[in-house]
Amino acid sequence: MNLKQIVNCQTKSKNIFNPLNYKVLIVEDSTTTNKIISQYFLHKKYQIISVFSLAEAYEILNTDITIDYVMLDINLPDGNGYELITNIPHHHTKFFILTTENDSALMEHSYKNGVIDFIVKDKYFIHKLQQLSTTIEQLENNKEKTILIVDDSLLFQQELKDLLTNRHYNVELANNAENALFILQHKQVDLMFLDAELEQSYGIEFLQHHHHFILNRKKVPVLILSSNMTSVVIRDALKAGAVDVLKKPYIIEEIILKSDLWIDYRKKEQEILCATQLLQEYKNTVDESAIVSKTDVHGKITYVNNYFCQLSGYSESELLGKPHNIVRHPDMPKEAFTQMWKTIKEERQTWRGKVKNKKKDGTFYIVDAVIKPIIDVNGDIVEFIGLRTDITELENYKEMLSNKLDDTNKSLSENINYTKQYEEALDMFNLILKTDTQDNITYANESFCKISGYCLEELIGKECSILRHHNHTLNNDSEKLKDALSKNQHLTMTFTNIAKDKSLYFVETIAYPIVNLEGKVIEHLHLMYDISELTNLHQEIEDTQREIVYKMGEIGESRSKETGHHVKRVALYSKLLGELAGLSEEEVELLFIASPMHDIGKISIPDNILTKSGKLDENEFKIIQSHSEIGYEILKNSSRPILKTAAIVSYEHHERWDGKGYPRGLKKEEIHIFGRITAIADVFDALGSDRCYKEAWSLDKILELFKEEKGKQFDPLLMELFLNNLDKFLEIRDNLKDD
């Protein structure tokens, strides 16, 4: 799950159901029953209108008042309640039937006419009322859910659609496997009904073939519908991944119950996935910002993060399974740890305090620690987690100042002199800013003025955030920093700053709140380290890697007398088609960088074959074809994402959608999306360019071939995207014409 999906999870969770937004009409002639129902819905905060006859109900429903739900008694003093359902054309109004009868045939008929559910007025009636609010909330949440019906019977499609839209579901219809796949690829589907006996294909085979895409990637529950309920059908359907098999003609109530069941199951599954992902993000955040360890209930270390190992000097293997006193410093009194264990183990409370620890090399470090017991659902402690912040430097500095300032053998002037020297030394080593509580600059040292290009007079009074790159504004970093400091919390962040000459410089910043004797924050101290050289070096390395990959692609093409513009165009075509196909930014970037190496294997093909102007014989053609496997063998063992992507592109860009390509004869989705995209980009450019063995084709001739080979040589969906956006590809071609 990516960041966008996490945000979507959080956004959906904010769509809170509010009963105050819904009007409920109660039509019941029994004063007692009417009052019971009214009080129940009033207690649940719904807007209630209560009547006792058909005439009163008609009067309400024929006004401009929008009624969302009706609780309708069938046996009324002035007629049959079913008249309302058939005579009132309010398609948005949903009916719950109150009845003393339990007639299954009547219920089946009523469901087809828009009734949501039946509430039988028996001795359990009051308990059944408690389910109504839950049902209404579910119906409203259904408006965000989509069900796909795949069936070649238009009559069946419409019947099932009417039944499901009555429950507020969005419904998509497909009469064959190809249409169903298109909908699944382009829309969010939450449940699919699939006919086992489609006219053009066997529905279960469709599910088997697209099992990974439908069930694993899209995570869509599939209900198979079949008029032939044999043990073979049931077995094949369940083995293919269907969650259930229903008989046609179907039982309406079964369809309703199982639709609601699997929609609710998928919702809970997504909530668990979101919660798990968020938990992992929180864990990663903690791991990146704190010194973390975990121990079992006996105090044996079960986990340490990299920061813990770096600070203590021990490796992970040296720490795991050991008691935590492996880093205990003799200066720490035994009573402190006794109190800590009492707090976390006996009282089951969080312990906070400063701890002096011993490194592997015998030196020490000081941490601000929080130790918390982790308790399971049974109330048992399962482990302890410790989060720590390294405050060694700060404590040393405080001790140094304290020792100097408390030295009664020195005069006050000497102490001031010492303090000034300490500040000057710190000033020379660091970039320093001071700001007031509104983040306005009140001081900047000479080092900061030098790196920023501003003199002190130009900085004083300016808001600190104006120095920072606009990305920090988008991420709300300045507000986060001000908020933490206002709460007397220090914070470490990496900032990209803009100098006076508009150049960028990068600083690792530790911001401290400065408090007065009353504990009130009066200013902020920003200590910064210049990491521009390291950051620029990292960027230069990345740029160099990209250039090397690109040049390798040019080498492969130049041997077959093709221009460097070919690889540029193929890279840009592939990038554009990847974006149109909905690949992630990371995938698009990898494909853009790697696609120039699609023909790198040509470096091993003899010149007399590679540049031959005439027709190749059978043996020569096999040698040419081997360039795909050669390129793959060159690149396959790399651990670099770019080269791993290039290996895939080299290996699979000559495979065909119909399975008649080379080197492995893969077909359809067996071919990696990178290979399918590069195939279209490469062929489009190759056909439109002069080669040693042919002249360039006209655009009309290329498009005629593409339309003919759609679904044969090329992925039909990708080809559709290409043809629908042809103007964008032609713009790339025209901007990079060969000399």
> For the chain, how are helix, strand and coil distributed in percent, rounded to 5?
55, 20, 30
Tell the burial category of 425 from Cβ atoms under 10 Å away from its Cβ (0-12, 13-18, 19+): exposed
Q: Over the stretch 68-92, which tens digit does the pLDDT of each residue have? A: 899 988 888 888 878 887 777 656 7
CATH of 539-735, one of 1.10.3210.10, 3.40.309.10, 1.10.443.10, 1.20.58.220: 1.10.3210.10
219/272 Cα distance (integer angstroms): 13
pLDDT recorded at residue 409: 45
Beta bridge partners of residue 72, listed in sequence order: 27, 97
pLDDT recorded at residue 265: 86
Average pLDDT in the chain = 81
Question: Which segment, 89-98, 403-412, 671-680, is predicted with the most confidence on average?
Answer: 671-680
262/688 Cα distance (integer angstroms): 51
Q: Which residue has the higher pLDDT, 273 or 58?
A: 58
422 falls in which pLDDT band (50, 70, 90)?
very low
Residue 401 has pLDDT above 60, yes or no: no
- Rounded alpha-carbon distances, angstroms, from residue 395 to 11, 276, 364, 401, 717: 43, 38, 12, 10, 63
268 falls in which pLDDT band (50, 70, 90)?
confident
Q: What is the DSSP string of 290-326?
A: SEEEEE-TTSBEEEE-HHHHHHH---HHHHTTSBGGG
684 Cβ partners below 8 Å, 6+ apart?
573, 702, 706, 722, 729
Q: Are 433 and 526 in contact (CB under 8 A)?
A: yes
6 falls in which pLDDT band (50, 70, 90)?
very low
520/434 Cα distance (integer angstroms): 16
Residue 424 has pLDDT above 60, yes or no: no
Q: Which residue has the higher pLDDT, 516 or 245?
A: 245
Q: Over the stretch 651-709, which tens digit does the pLDDT of each residue have? A: 898 999 999 999 999 999 999 999 999 999 989 988 888 766 668 899 999 999 999 99
pLDDT recorded at residue 716: 93
pLDDT recorded at residue 672: 94
Q: What is the dihedral of CA 166, 172, 176, 180, to 10 degrees?
A: -140
The reply to whether domains 145-273 and 430-530 share a CATH topology is no
Q: Which residue has the higher pLDDT, 94 or 414?
A: 94
pLDDT recorded at residue 172: 95
Q: Which residue has the higher pLDDT, 424 or 608?
A: 608
pLDDT recorded at residue 83: 80
Residue range 228-251: mean pLDDT, rounded: 89
Q: What strands, in cross-sheet order, belong to the sheet with 431-435?
A: 441-444, 431-435, 521-530, 504-515, 491-498
Q: What is the DSSP string of 632-681?
A: HHHHTT--SHHHHHHHHHHHHTT--TTS--SSS---GGGS-HHHHHHHHH
pLDDT recorded at residue 429: 44
Percent of the chain with pLDDT over 70: 83
3-class secondary structure per residue, 27-77 = ECCCHHHHHHHHHHHHHCCCEEEEECCHHHHHHHHCCCCCCCEEEEECEEC
Q: Over the stretch 445-488, which tens digit does the pLDDT of each residue have? A: 888 888 889 998 888 988 887 888 877 766 677 777 777 877 88
Q: What fold characterizes domain 3-140?
A: Rossmann fold (3.40.50)
Residue range 404-433: mean pLDDT, rounded: 53
**pTM of structure:** 0.43
Residue 123 has pLDDT above 90, yes or no: no
Q: What fold characterizes domain 430-530?
A: Beta-Lactamase (3.30.450)
Instruction: Write down the number of H helices and E strands in the chain.
Output: 32, 22
pLDDT recorded at residue 108: 59
Nearest to 494 by CA among 514, 469, 513: 469
654/621 Cα distance (integer angstroms): 13
pLDDT recorded at residue 475: 66
pLDDT recorded at residue 242: 92
Q: Which residue has the higher pLDDT, 12 or 570?
A: 570
Residue 34 has pLDDT above 70, yes or no: yes
pLDDT recorded at residue 187: 92
Residue range 159-176: mean pLDDT, rounded: 90
402 falls in which pLDDT band (50, 70, 90)?
low
Q: Are 103 and 118 in contact (CB under 8 A)?
A: no
Q: What is the DSSP string of 415-472?
A: HHHHHHHHHHHHHHHSEEEEE-TTSBEEEE-HHHHHHH---HHHHTTSBGGGGB-HHH
- Superfamily designation of domain 145-273: Response regulator (3.40.50.2300)
81 Cβ partners below 8 Å, 6+ apart?
27, 54, 72, 73, 74, 75, 97
Percent of the chain with pLDDT over 90: 24
Q: Which of helix, strand or coil describes residue 709? A: helix
Residue 425 has pLDDT above 70, yes or no: no
**717 phi/psi in degrees, rounded to 5:** -70, -40
646/304 Cα distance (integer angstroms): 36
Residue range 10-39: mean pLDDT, rounded: 81
Amino acid occupying residue 427:
D
Residue 7 has pLDDT above 50, yes or no: no
Nearest to 81 by CA among 119, 124, 134: 119
Q: Are 266 and 219 in contact (CB under 8 A)?
A: yes
pLDDT recorded at residue 704: 93
**15 phi/psi in degrees, rounded to 5:** -80, 75
Residue range 625-639: mean pLDDT, rounded: 80
Omega within 30 of 0 (cis) for the link into 373:
no
223 falls in which pLDDT band (50, 70, 90)?
very high
Domain-wise residue ranges, the chain: 3-140, 145-273, 290-390, 430-530, 539-735
Domain 290-390 - what CATH class?
A: alpha beta
Tally of CB atoms within 10 A around 530: 18
Residue 228 has pLDDT above 80, yes or no: yes
pLDDT recorded at residue 48: 93
Q: Which of helix, strand or coil describes residue 576? A: helix
Q: Which residue has the higher pLDDT, 103 or 161?
A: 161
Nearest to 237 by CA among 264, 266, 211: 211
